[in-house]
Amino acid sequence: MNKMNALLSVLFTVLLLVPATVLAADYAAISNVKVAGTVEDDDSIVTLSYTAQNTGTSKVIARITIDGDGLDSVGHSVVLEAGLINEQTRTVRIPVSELTAGDRELTATIKATTGTLDKGAEAHVVKYNVASADPDADDELLDGLVNDVEVEEDELTYGDQIEFEIELETTNEQRISDMIVEVEFDGETIETREFKMFGDDDDNVEVTLDQDDFKTMLSIPTSVDDMDEGTYDFEVRVYGREEVEADGSDGANRYHLLDAFVITGAIEVEKMDDNLAIAGVNFEQQGNVLYTAVLVENIGNNNEENVRVKVQISDLEVGQTSNRVIVYEDDDATIYAPIVLPSFATGEYDVKLTVFNDDVSVVRIAEDVEMVGVISAQPSADLAIGVDTAIKTVSPTGAVYALTFTNNGAAARSFTLETAGAEWGQTSVNPSTVVVGAGTSEIASVFVAPNAGQTGTKQFTVFVKEGNQIVKSVGLTANVEGNSVTGSAVYDFENFVDSGLKWIAAILIVVLIVLFVVWSWNKADEEEL
């Protein structure tokens, strides 16, 4: 005990008991908290053990913080998984600053950070004494076991999954038990289950032999969904104890306490140039139409042009693609894509959503979307709807499709028109509401103008609705000749319709001017006579 390099060991134990509580349907508690410390020279380890229980259906996360004389504040995050019916004893080892001998006070605080503990936060103050250790105890700190830490991806972006590959290395004579590996990253502590290396039970981790050293690789996954762009530090810690041969007079085995060896590093999280995310989806069924609204976020560096949403229901063999939109950097846009549903039975159906343009494609499956079965409506015998020409050549200035409504019934009927699938151009209808009197006919015009750079055969659909029910869908084809300027549906339509009248007016003005000149000449000749 008098040697200069003799081991100074400080053992202190604190028992914190959460008051007994009648177990309810939702009950989460941390009890039987014990803190023990060991010190050698400037190295110090605090061993924290506790009993965890959570009978509820939601995960609870708590923070245990330890403060006291001669001890810098240290903490540990405790995760109580849902459905932890039976009490479970856990142990974790935390590196701390140097402890000093004497009578000291220690405060341990338990506080829920996610969810609710049975009694919320608790703080306990106790006395402890630092004393010299028994030299026969043979407890000492060993070197760390972490040989290497690798991150699967050095540069990450939103939505990526990250894996820390942690290599643990020991000699072939070491037997390590009660091991826990922790990774602290972005304020969150992720820890493995307690395991052994080279033990004799079925809980061993997989090991490989490499040049007389045993190694094991642990993967600790997490994600960067909610992280801002920037550099993030991480820290890896390893705790455990090594079993050694019996060397005392009592013949019992001894254990070396393993240092909470720490490896630090940094990970870069950055934006991609082109990156879209589906932030939300809303479905609303009205009769035989499923209206789909998709909230698309631009989480990249560039403005994203020509973004579309494709909606597919494979079980019903239907799909629809929205019009093109622009989603600006750090902004979002709601894109709509209505689908006409065929006759089908009430039930739950999976809907596939694809957000895409030329640079990005994001897919989400909306599972078990409830839909009310319908029988697709057909136009009644006294209603006829036709189109002048279903296939037209469309110039850069656009083209007009004429739909004729004939009502042979005894009462007037009102219809509205909607277009879908014309993401390659701009569309408008005139009039927006078509009222067809009894025994009469009316004509509605559908104008389409191609976007810049669009050529070839294109299709789109016109839905004829009476109230909320689609009574007819008309498929139209446009053979686009191509253009250099994106058409404007409203402006071009008015020009297209009015251009004939304007030419007639211009001709009439010219004729009037000529007649006026001729009349003036004749008038002058008469006066001379």
Exposure class string for 351-360: b at 16+ Cβ within 10 A, else e: bebbbbbebb
**Strand 254-269 relative to strand 155-156: parallel, antiparallel, unpaired?**
parallel
Phi, psi of 75 (to 5 degrees): -145, 165
Residue 120 and residue 145 in one domain: no
Q: Which helix (H) or strand (E) is 208 found in, with range?
A: strand 208-210
Residue 132 and residue 145 in one domain: no
Q: Where in the sequence is the domain holding 247, given as residue range(s)?
A: 141-269
- Please give the Cα distance from 441 to 385 (Å, whole number): 10
Domain-embedded: residue 2: no
Q: How confident is the model at residue 153, as a pLDDT?
A: 55
What averages of pLDDT result for each successive group of 10 residues across the chain (529 residues)? Answer: 30 28 59 64 61 81 74 71 74 60 65 74 50 35 47 59 63 60 68 54 36 40 57 70 54 48 66 83 84 88 89 89 84 85 86 91 89 70 87 91 92 89 86 91 93 83 83 86 51 46 68 74 62
E runs forming strands in 41-83? 43-54, 60-68, 71-80
C-alpha dist (Å) from residue 296 to 332, 419, 424? 5, 21, 19
Residue 347 and residue 407 in one domain: no
Residue 57 and residue 32 in one domain: yes
Domain-embedded: residue 411: yes
Domain-embedded: residue 88: yes
Residue 262 and residue 147 in one domain: yes
Phi, psi of 505 (to 5 degrees): -60, -40
Residue 161 and residue 105 in one domain: no
Domain-embedded: residue 8: no
Q: Give 377's contacts (C-beta < 8 A, 6+ positions apart).
A: 287, 288, 469, 470, 471
What is residue 389's DSSP assignment? Answer: -
Domain-embedded: residue 500: no
Q: How confident is the model at residue 83, as a pLDDT?
A: 78
Number of domains in the chain: 4
Domain-embedded: residue 290: yes
* Count of CB atoms situated within 10 Å of the CB of 67: 16
Q: How confident is the model at residue 19, as a pLDDT?
A: 31
Q: How confident is the model at residue 281, as a pLDDT?
A: 92
Residue 290 and residue 320 in one domain: yes
The domain spanning residue 306 has which CATH number?
A: 2.60.40.10
Q: How confident is the model at residue 493, as a pLDDT?
A: 44
User: What secondary structure does DSSP assign to 152-194, as a single string?
Assistant: S-SEE-TT-EEEEEEEEEEETT-EEEEEEEEEEETTEEEEPPP
